[in-house]
Amino acid sequence: MYARLSGEDIATRIDGPLLFLQRSVDVGLNEAVEVEDRTGRVRLGRIAALDQDSVTVEMLDATAGLGIAGARVRFFGEPLRFHVGPGLLGRVFNGVGRPLDGGPPVAAQQAFRVDGLPLKPSARQAPSEFLETGVTVIDLMNSLVRGQKLPLFAGGGLPHDRIAVDIACNARLPGAQRERRGAEYRASQEGEHGSGQAGRHRARHGAGQRRGHGASNGVGEGAGAEQGPGAETGYRAAQGAAHGAGHGTERGDDEFAIVFAGIGIPHGSAEFFRSRLEQSGALARTVLFLNLASDPSAQRLLTPRFALTAAEYLAFTEGKHVLVILTDLTNYCEALREVSASRGEVPSRKGYPGYMYSDLATLYERAGRIRGRPGSVTQLPILTMPNDDITHPIPDLTGYITEGQLVLDRALHRRDLYPPIKVLPSLSRLMKDGTGAGLTDPDHPALAAQLYAAYAQAQQTRMLASVVGEDGLTEQDRRYLAFGERFETEVVAQTGRRTLAQSMEAGWRALRGLPQHALTRLSNQQIEIHLAVADAADNADTSDDADTSDNAEAAAVNAAQDVDQGSDADSDAGTDADSNAGSDATSGAGSDLGSKVGSGVGLEAGPKRGATAKPSA
């Protein structure tokens, strides 16, 4: 670092977050400055624009209380840097890299530019290693690959915070932590999920309506409540997780780390993240950056950059596989718009600056791997779509940069299916590179493709059913309807973490019951191996179908029977799956869901059928 230049009484104007100085010293764009006011308080800023006689400084701390008179400005002569070193893990920082946990500053080994430099495409290692998140819709259908950037498009009121934390707690490198999946650890995880769900139930349906309500204590207060079965689960959760984490470190789990950046989040969410990570023991392998909604918005522009600098250090210097969770990028873009407007720049779509694409790219493109180095930076940015509009510039530009997207769905959430990830518009572009023979499972890509195709068909059938009514459907259509339900309640929805093998098993299970000749994305061999059980019944049904197709009455009777059987089978299977998971509290919720779903379909079909009948009458 150069000797610091400084200037006194050179400030001419303060306008919102911008400070204008006389150009007294030779400084460069993007360089950092410190401004000390009369009271001795020091604020950080950086040089945003230069012209012949003035310098524009963008202040990163609140400018309230800053005056023109008596302000001393120190120029760093270089861009902002983040001092990193071993001991970064387990720490909590604010948005500009200052410790928030009361601990000492990090023993700095290196200082990296927070803006980073673009990685050459030729230096990148194409991502191809699977990263297991424990979420079926991600692992099975939209696999995350180390070095990828896969955003989560959420909306206000959707459980993206919970998904983020669950992934932070459950994500692992396949193979690295096999042994760690002890019964104890698993129980603790499920206990936690169960309690989370119960907590939400309570919020929606009023306290005490459902059993397991005591468990909700376990979420917020941890070991605070010592009585009742729920509290016990929570306590065990904390214990078990801490235990698990301890073991993990011993067993080479230290290859994996998490960088979690909260950008402009409310205090409640920040506390939620911190306490949940702490309880599950994941904090020990996490670096947490918290920029609160009340912090100056210019800091918001730096939070992800500090987080990514830490991630790059962990990945490329310490050789870890780092998962970076950034939430919420919408707040980042709002800050970008705010700062841009205060600089008087020409706005583009919806008032966001024209360079927002390039600016977002400088964040997202910092995910990746470098050839010949062990580590990786994987990004899971989360953004809330304003008004659930996926064509809004923020999700739109993000989707053009990132390698796919996961979209949350309000309808699934309303039905209390967790995680409510909308499967059809979700996509992982790198899935093809990280799944299949030699990487995950040889049948993984085909299974995912078949599930996608069948679910798309089921959705179309649903639309049809809402017009003509379920009675007017063919046998095959009704099977697709049943598949759609089964898919949502048994594959998408889950309690606790699922390994990829468990996820795949759920997928195969959901496919049974569809006529095999319709499974065109699977090879005959794959059908034989995984779906042979239902073979005979299927063929019989198909020929049946063809024969009775003329006979509308018979079909209608069949349909009625089938619907009944279908919903029975559904709730049965639901209970099965849940008891597999081995958690009492959740199995109750599961079968509850089943019945709710059944009645929902009935209701939907009812009035609409009436509507179509009207014109004819």
Partner 1 sequence: MSARAIATWLSGPVLRAAPEGAFVLREAVLVGEQRLLGEVIRVARDEITIQVYEDTSGLRLGEVVQGTERLLSVRLGPGILGGIFDGLLRPIAFDPNDPETAWVQPGLHQRAPGRFHFRPSVAVGDRLAPGAVLGEVAPEAEPGPERDLAERGPAGSGPADEAEAAPRLRQRCLLPPDAQPGELIALAAAGDVLEDAPIGRMRAADGSEYAIRLAHPWPVRLPRPVAKRLPADEPMLTGQRILDCLFPIARGGTASIPGGFGTGKTVLLETIAKWCDADVIVYVGCGERGNELAGLLAEFLELEDPRSGRPLLERTVVIANTSNMPVAAREASIYTGITVAEYFRDQGLDVALMADSTSRWAEALREVSGRLGELPGEGGYPAYLSSRLADFYERAARVETLAGAQGSVSVMGAVSPPSGDFSEPVTNHTRRYVGGLWALDVRRAQSRFYPAIDPLSSYSNSVQDLARWWHREGCTRWEALRRRFLTLLEAEARLERMARIIGRDAMPAPQRVTLLAAQLVNEAFLRQSAFSAIDRFASPQRQAVMMRLIGRFIEEAEGLLERGVAPEHLAGAPVFRALIRMGEEIGEGDWERFSALDRELTATAHRLVEEVEAVQAEQSEQTEGDANAGQGAA
Q: Establish if 438 lies at the interface with partner 1 (CB under 8 A).
A: no
Among 28, 70, 86, 610, binds partner 1 (CB under 8 A): 28
Q: Establish if 557 lies at the interface with partner 1 (CB under 8 A).
A: no
Window contacting partner 1 (CB under 8 A); options: 159-167, 226-234, 430-438, 528-536: 430-438
Q: Establish if 405 lies at the interface with partner 1 (CB under 8 A).
A: yes
406 DSSP 8-state letter: E
Q: Establish if 449 lies at the interface with partner 1 (CB under 8 A).
A: yes
Q: What is the smallest separation between the CB atom of 299 and partner 1, expressed in angstroms?
A: 20
Q: What is the smallest separation between the CB atom of 495 and partner 1, expressed in angstroms?
A: 27
- Residue 347: which residues within 8 A CB-CB, separation 6 or more? 337, 340, 341, 353, 354
Nearer to partner 1, 20 or 355 (CB): 355
State how far the Cα of 426 lies from the Cα of 130, in Å rounded to an integer: 18
Window contacting partner 1 (CB under 8 A); options: 47-55, 58-66, 290-298, 590-598: 47-55
Nearer to partner 1, 124 or 211 (CB): 124
427 DSSP 8-state letter: E
Convert residues 290-309 into a mask of x (bound to partner 1 by CB under 8 A) and - (unbound). --------------------
Among 546, 554, 560, 611, binds partner 1 (CB under 8 A): 546
Among 346, 525, 553, 616, binds partner 1 (CB under 8 A): 346
Q: Establish if 371 lies at the interface with partner 1 (CB under 8 A).
A: yes
State how far the Cα of 359 lies from the Cα of 480, in Å rounded to an integer: 44
State how far the Cα of 388 lies from the Cα of 386, in Å rounded to an integer: 5
Q: What are phi and psi of 282, to 5 degrees?
A: -75, -15
Question: Site residues for partner 1, window 462-521 (CB under 8 A)?
Answer: 463-464, 467-468, 472-474, 477, 517, 520
Nearer to partner 1, 113 or 200 (CB): 113
Question: Site residues for partner 1, window 68-87 (CB under 8 A)?
Answer: 78-79
The H or E element spanning position 6 is strand 5-8
Window contacting partner 1 (CB under 8 A); options: 86-94, 96-104, 256-264, 347-355: 347-355
Window contacting partner 1 (CB under 8 A); options: 91-99, 248-256, 543-551, 573-581: 543-551
As given in the structure block, the two tokens for residue 605 are 């079909």
Question: Site residues for partner 1, window 225-264 (CB under 8 A)?
Answer: none
Q: Establish if 554 lies at the interface with partner 1 (CB under 8 A).
A: no
Nearer to partner 1, 315 or 581 (CB): 315
Q: Where are the beta strands (DSSP E) in 417-566?
A: 421-428
Q: What is the smallest separation between the CB atom of 400 and partner 1, expressed in angstroms?
A: 5
Q: Establish if 155 lies at the interface with partner 1 (CB under 8 A).
A: no
State how far the Cα of 586 lies from the Cα of 439, in Å rounded to an integer: 33
Q: What is the smallest separation between the CB atom of 304 and partner 1, expressed in angstroms?
A: 13
DSSP string spanning 173-195?
Answer: -TTTTGGG--HHHHHHHHHHHHH
State how far the Cα of 537 lies from the Cα of 345, in Å rounded to an integer: 67
Cβ of 142: how many Cβ atoms within 10 Å? Answer: 23
Q: Establish if 387 lies at the interface with partner 1 (CB under 8 A).
A: no
Q: What is the smallest separation between the CB atom of 21 and partner 1, expressed in angstroms?
A: 13
Q: Establish if 265 lies at the interface with partner 1 (CB under 8 A).
A: no
Q: Establish if 148 lies at the interface with partner 1 (CB under 8 A).
A: yes
Window contacting partner 1 (CB under 8 A); options: 95-103, 243-251, 365-373, 494-502: 365-373
Q: What are phi and psi of 29, to 5 degrees?
A: -60, 150
Q: Establish if 427 lies at the interface with partner 1 (CB under 8 A).
A: yes
Among 6, 94, 275, 362, binds partner 1 (CB under 8 A): 362
First to last CA, the chain: 85
Residue type, 541: D
Tally the residues of the chain: 617
Q: Establish if 384 lies at the interface with partner 1 (CB under 8 A).
A: no
Q: What is the smallest separation between the CB atom of 286 and partner 1, expressed in angstroms?
A: 24
Q: Establish if 365 lies at the interface with partner 1 (CB under 8 A).
A: yes
Maximum pairwise Cα distance, the chain: 93
Note whether 182 and 197 are within 8 A (CB).
no
SS (H, E, C) 253-273: HHHEEEEEEEEEECHHHHHHH
| Total residues interacting with partner 1, rule: CB under 8 A | 85
- The set of long-range contacts for 508-512, using a CB threshold of 8 Å and a minimum separation of 24, is 508/447, 509/573, 510/451, 510/483, 510/486, 511/447, 511/450, 511/451, 511/454, 511/483
Q: Establish if 211 lies at the interface with partner 1 (CB under 8 A).
A: no
Q: What is the smallest separation between the CB atom of 390 and partner 1, expressed in angstroms?
A: 8
Q: Establish if 604 lies at the interface with partner 1 (CB under 8 A).
A: no
Nearer to partner 1, 98 or 349 (CB): 349
Three-state DSSP at 14 gives strand
SS (H, E, C) 359-377: HHHHHHCCCECECCCCCEE
Q: Establish if 560 lies at the interface with partner 1 (CB under 8 A).
A: no
